[in-house]
Amino acid sequence: MKIVASTWLAVLVLSLVTLQAAAETTSEAAFRAAKAWTVRVQVEMPTPFIEDEKGSYEGAGFVVDAKRGWILTNAHVAGHSPTILRIAFDDGRLIPAERVYVDPHLDMAVIAYQPEQLKEVPPEPTLACDSVPPVGHPVGAYGHPWGFRFTGTRGIASAVTPRFGADMLQTDAPINAGNSGGPLISLETEHVVGISTAKIADEEVEGLSFAVPMPFVCTILTLLKAGQDPSPPAARVEFAIDENDERTLVVANTRLETPGIDLRPEDEIVAVAGRAVTTPTQFVDAVRSHLDDLVLTVRRDGRETRVTGKIPAAPRIIERRGLWVDGALFAPGADFYGGILGDGEGIMVHHIEEASEAQSVGLAVYDAVERVNGRPVHSLEELEQMIVEATHKKRPIELMIIRFGDDPDRLFQYLRRYLSGENVSWVGGPPQ
C-alpha cells in the first residue's frame, strides 16, 4: 500500500508540474505575441472638458485593423477632449495618432495612425467577439504599468459584473496605471477577451480589476467598418435596480424626446429586434444598430407587446465643441444635473485655467450658466453672440450662474460673475 500511495503521489506531483509548465509556456507565447501588436499611447491634454484633466499621461492600446491603422484603447486614455496623441510600438519610436471614435458608455475608443509611417505591417490579434471567458479561465493583462514597458501579468476571469456604468469583465490579473487600454488576453487561446480598464484601488481590496468585454467592443467595430454610426442612443432610459440582483430590465423612468416610442415606467424590456436582453449594457449594445428601426419586445401588465420607433444617436465625442472665454471653457452639460438646467443644451463651466481672469473673478468648474446680460442662453452659439454684442458696446459680460452644493437645505445658489470677453476662441473647431 505504501508503494501504491507513493507511486500515486509521484504521478500527481508530476502531473501538476507538467500542467504548470504548460501554463507557463502558454503565458509566454501569449505575451510574446502581444508585444508585436500592443502599443504605448502618449497623451497631452491642453484644454480638457469636464471628464478629463489637463496634463500628460500614458496608457496602452492594441492594433485591431492594420490596414486602417486602427488601435483600440480606453475612452479615458484617448480623452473626451481635443488631445495630442502619439503611439509607439516596441521599437520606441513615437508617431502621431488621432481619435476616430470615443464611446463613454463602454469606456472604449478607436484611435488611428497612418500605416505608411511604419516599416512593417504589424500583426492583428484575434478578438473574442462571440463570448466572454468563463469563471476560472486563465487571462493575462499586457501593457505598461507605472512606466514599465510591455509588461504582462496573469490571473483568472472572475465574473461579468456591472461596474463603472456598464457590464465589465472582472479579473484578478493586476491592472495598474499604464495598463489602461491594453489587451486582456486568454492564456489558452491567445485571443483578446477585453480592454483592460481599471482596478479597485483600496488597501483592503485585492484582485479586483476590470476590462471591457470584447463582444460589446466588436459591435462598435463592426458598425464603424461598415461606415455606420455606432453611437449609443441619445434617449434616456433608466432602469430599476433589483435588490436580489435579478437580471431584468424594468423601466424606472424615461425621458424620451422622440415621439412615437410608447415606453412606460414598469415596462420590462425583454428583447431588442428579437435579441434577448437582461442588462442595460446589453440593451445599449443591441440598440446601437437599430436606431432607425427600433423594435422592442416589452412585458406590460403581464402581457408582451411591441414598441417601435426611431431614436437619435448621442452626439459624437470627437465632434464636441467648447467656447473658451477669458480662461474658462464653456460647453454643454445639462446631463450632469439630470436635466435641472432646463431646456436646450445647458451651458456649464468645464475647465478654469490657472491665473486666468475667469479664476480671479471666482468662476468654478460645474458652474451652470443661467443668463448672460439678463438673457437666457441655451447654446454656445448664443453665448458667443452675446459676448460679441457686449464687447461691441464695450460692456462687461454679466454671467448669472447656478452653483450647486452639498448643503441639504440649500441645493444651489445664484451668483453674479463678470468677464471682459477679451479672449474668446473655439475649442474643437468653430460651428459649421
d(CA 42, CA 50): 20
Model pTM?
0.87
Identify the CA nearest to 381 among candidates 424, 318, 328, 338. 424
d(CA 162, CA 102): 20
Q: Tell whether the model's pLDDT for residue 7 goes beyond 70.
A: no
Provide mean pLDDT across the span 152-160: 92
- Torsion sign, CA atoms 19, 25, 27, 29: negative
Q: What is the pLDDT of residue 35?
A: 95
Q: What is the pLDDT of residue 205?
A: 62
Residue with cell 501588436: 37
Give domain limits for the chain: 36-117, 236-309, 321-427
Give the pairing type, strands 38-45 and 55-65. Answer: antiparallel
d(CA 87, CA 5): 58
Q: What is the pLDDT of residue 338?
A: 45
Q: How far is CA 124 from CA 101, 108, 127, 181, in A?
A: 19, 18, 9, 16
* pLDDT band, residue 270 (cuts 50/70/90): very high
Q: Which fold has domain 236-309?
A: Pdz3 Domain (2.30.42)
User: 36-117 sits in which CATH class?
Assistant: mainly beta
User: 321-427 sits in which CATH class?
Assistant: mainly beta
Provide mean pLDDT across the span 206-212: 87
Identify the CA nearest to 194 among candidates 143, 249, 251, 146. 143
Per CATH, 236-309 and 321-427 having the same topology is answered: yes
pLDDT tens by residue, 8-34: 444 444 444 444 544 455 678 899 999
Q: What is the pLDDT of residue 342?
A: 42
